[in-house]
């Protein structure tokens, strides 16, 4: 999140100063980072769902050697 804020600030500063080469380069990095974070978040959600499906919600309890 902090990286995206820094990159956004750099893009605005580069646009204000008229430095187009840095503007497009930093904009590309910001967009690439955003897309990468989005896809990584989706994959994490799928992995968490698979892990939750592996968990047992009920466990047998033994009391006085009886279930």
Full pLDDT tens readout for the chain, 67 residues: 788 888 888 888 888 988 888 888 888 888 898 899 889 999 998 999 999 888 877 778 888 888 8
Among left, alpha and beta (phi > 0; psi -120 to 50; other), residue 3 is alpha
Give the C-alpha distances (Å, rounded to integers) separating 11 from 2, 19, 35, 40.
14, 9, 17, 24
């Amino acid at each position: 999140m902090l990286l995206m804020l820094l990159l956004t600030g750099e893009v605005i500063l580069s646009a204000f100063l008229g430095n187009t080469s840095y503007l497009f380069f930093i904009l590309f990095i910001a967009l690439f980072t955003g897309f990468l974070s989005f896809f990584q978040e989706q994959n994490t959600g799928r992995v968490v769902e698979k892990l939750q499906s592996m968990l047992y919600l009920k466990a047998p309890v033994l009391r006085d050697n009886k279930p």
